[in-house]
Amino acid sequence: MNYWHIQLFPGTGNKAKFPSEKIREILKQTHYIGIGEEWHDTTEGQFKNALRIGDIVLVRSSGPLALCKVIGDWEHKDDIDPDFDWFPNRRKIEILGWIEDYAEGIAKPVVDGITYPTSFGSANNSNFVKNWYSTCQRNSAMEIMQKLLTENKNLILTGAPGTGKTYLSKQIAKQMIGIATDEELEKSGQFRFVQFHPSYDYTDFVEGLRPTKPDANGNVGFELRDGAFKDFCKKAIAAIAVEHIDKFTLDDYVKYLQTIGLNEKTISSYKNRIEQLLGKELKAKKQIVDRETYSSLGEICNNIDDIKDFDAANNFHYQFFSAVSNLISFRDGLSSKQHSVDKNKASFIFIIDEINRGEISKIFGELFFSIDPSYRGKKGAVKTQYSNMHEGEDEVFYVPENVYVIGTMNDIDRSVESFDFAMRRRFAWHEITAEQSAESMNLPEEVKSRMAKLNAAISKIDGLNASYHVGGAYFLDKDGKPRTDYKNIWELRLEPLLKEYVRGMPDTDTKLQDLEKAYNA
């Protein structure tokens, strides 16, 4: 692939007739670039013979205007319109991007490596053009992955080590939620990140019994707590439930409870407990201790720990705590609605890093059914393994439509083969190659060259393939910037990994030496 630039107007005498906006319209309507008959033979020869399908062309018009990819062979058109698509020598192109999308706020970006008096010529020495193309590739890859996630609800990013799968999953989450920074992502309330490992189980993910703090006598009990995924889904359900609710009032709280599917008995109980926390008379068979009343729903939410202790001290079986937990979910749902880009459809992104390292069937349990894209929402509701301990034994759990799950996994992990086939069917799969990682991380050309040569050498070893390639992350520092201390990268990062690759193979030392030669070639 080569890079080119073209000044798209018919000679200097006609430049005024073809301002940038007109050139833009020509590109949009025709999807062609071209040159006129008046251009000299060398230029026409390059345009006809040297320019190839797949090459990248910067279209100039008083500065950079668009970046295009050549998708058609040379054509000659006789019936041209001299006031519009005036060029008889032409090539079909795909528009990759416009300058305002790449260099927003920069009136005239500095374009290096181009001789401006030249109407058509090589841009292989232009870092500006190469960097713009890399950005287009990254954006295109992100659009593909985001579309896969949107359509399938569940997505697994797979690939060789160091290809940036975890980083990309967070980038997708930011785009889906509509925020720009990692800090905003963490504070959004619409994002959760967990990492599976051999000790991770159903109680961590869905729900389970957890020890309580020692009471006054030092006794430790157990209570039922939501796991990471169930807690997250409840927030997402709350976001849907508040779509037509705008106020944080007790009556709207009841509407919220009805929307999430609780039965009338449970709703009445929860409403009554909140009213009692606001001062309504509370009757009990024995003396009540440590009772506090609150002036507002917000104050109740802010004192949930004290309310939980009050619940336990008076043997109310966490009725108050459950009522307040749902009140907090209602409040958080309203908050997510206020901060969501699309007020009517807040996206909630749940990332599972190293998804294949956990025992999938034990972690998901009955959610094998609910996680399926075809059974999202109430139609996929199930009873959890601890449903008999819920206040309402008929309470069910489901994964709402607005929850999107992204898993990441390395191709070469031994645990890949144990990944449940039933769960495989419920996810869309997208591979991130080492080459794609180098582009997405905007690595320098020398790094890309070293990576390509090393990975080619890895593929030549019997038993190894593209799954064992080295990704771009091995060439980044802790701040995500490219490193060029190639000797240290080899000794401290690459060589230890490659030793594991070839361990037990014949001629291990020779293979490592060949890999190092390829890396340094």
* pLDDT tens digits for range 106-145: 666 778 888 766 778 889 888 899 888 888 888 888 899 9
pLDDT of residue 107: 60
In angstroms, rounded to a whole number, what is the distance separating the alpha carbons of residues 307 and 132? 56
Between these two residues, 101 and 464, which has the higher pLDDT value?
464
DSSP state, residue 99? H
**Do residues 391 and 322 make contact, with C-beta atoms less than 8 angstroms apart?**
yes
**Do residues 206 and 227 make contact, with C-beta atoms less than 8 angstroms apart?**
yes
Lowest mean pLDDT among 6-20, 144-158, 173-187, 393-407: 6-20
On the question of pLDDT at 425 being above 80, the answer is yes
* Cβ neighbours of 445 (radius 10 Å): 10
* Overall size of the chain counted in residues: 521
pLDDT of residue 414: 56
Between these two residues, 265 and 71, which has the higher pLDDT value?
71
Lowest mean pLDDT among 106-115, 126-135, 160-169, 363-372: 106-115
On the question of pLDDT at 345 being above 90, the answer is no
Query: Which token pair is 30?
Result: 């025709």
Please report, for residues 152, 195, 378, the alpha-carbon distance to residue 425 in angstroms, rounded to integers and kept in the order given.
11, 21, 21
Beta-sheet strands, E only, within 49-180? 56-60, 64-70, 75-76, 89-98, 120-122, 154-159
- Dihedral pair phi/psi, residue 49, rounded to 5°: -110, -35
For residue 426, give the 3-state DSSP assignment. Answer: coil
DSSP β-ladder status, 428-432 and 154-159: parallel
Closest CA to 179 of 318, 326, 346: 346
pLDDT of residue 432: 93
pLDDT of residue 251: 93
Closest CA to 89 of 13, 12, 23, 32: 32
Lowest mean pLDDT among 408-422, 462-476, 486-500: 408-422
Average pLDDT of the residues in 191-197: 95
234-281 residue pLDDT tens: 889 888 888 888 899 999 999 998 888 788 888 898 999 999 999 988
Closest CA to 177 of 383, 61, 46, 342: 342
**Helix residue ranges, H only, 340-379:** 360-364, 367-370
Beta-sheet strands, E only, within 313-395? 348-353
pLDDT of residue 291: 84
With cut-offs at 50, 70 and 90, classify the pLDDT of residue 373: very high
With cut-offs at 50, 70 and 90, classify the pLDDT of residue 416: low
72-92 residue pLDDT tens: 999 988 888 888 888 888 999
Contacts of 473 (CB under 8 A, 6+ apart): 162, 163, 164, 167, 437, 441
In angstroms, rounded to a whole number, what is the distance separating the alpha carbons of residues 158 and 253? 42
In angstroms, rounded to a whole number, what is the distance separating the alpha carbons of residues 521 and 519? 6
Lowest mean pLDDT among 29-33, 146-150, 295-299, 414-418: 414-418
Query: Which token pair is 270?
Result: 């929860």
pLDDT of residue 17: 79
* Cβ neighbours of 259 (radius 10 Å): 18
Average pLDDT of the residues in 52-70: 92
**Do residues 88 and 77 make contact, with C-beta atoms less than 8 angstroms apart?**
yes
For residue 159, give the 3-state DSSP assignment. Answer: strand
pLDDT mean across residues, the chain: 87
In angstroms, rounded to a whole number, what is the distance separating the alpha carbons of residues 49 and 45? 6
The alpha carbon torsion through 90, 94, 95, 96 (nearest 10 deg) reads -140
pLDDT of residue 219: 81
Q: What percent of the chain has pLDDT over 90?
A: 50
In angstroms, rounded to a whole number, what is the distance separating the alpha carbons of residues 461 and 510? 11
Triad 423, 427, 429: Cα angle to 5°: 120
pLDDT of residue 343: 46
On the question of pLDDT at 417 being above 70, the answer is no
With cut-offs at 50, 70 and 90, classify the pLDDT of residue 47: confident
* Cβ neighbours of 21 (radius 10 Å): 10
Lowest mean pLDDT among 8-17, 260-269, 273-282, 285-294: 8-17
pLDDT of residue 340: 58
Which residue has 């703090």 as its token pair?
Answer: 213
On the question of pLDDT at 428 being above 70, the answer is yes
Beta-sheet strands, E only, within 115-211? 120-122, 154-159, 191-195, 207-211
In angstroms, rounded to a whole number, what is the distance separating the alpha carbons of residues 112 and 42? 23
In angstroms, rounded to a whole number, what is the distance separating the alpha carbons of residues 18 and 10? 8
Contacts of 352 (CB under 8 A, 6+ apart): 194, 195, 196, 405, 406, 407, 408
**Do residues 160 and 467 make contact, with C-beta atoms less than 8 angstroms apart?**
yes
**Helix residue ranges, H only, 248-303:** 250-259, 264-277, 297-302
Half-sphere exposure of 101 (CA within 13 A, CB side): 11
CATH numbers and ranges of domains, the chain: 3-125 (3.10.590), 152-200+346-431 (3.40.50.300), 256-343 (no CATH), 436-520 (no CATH)
Query: Which token pair is 379?
Result: 């139609």
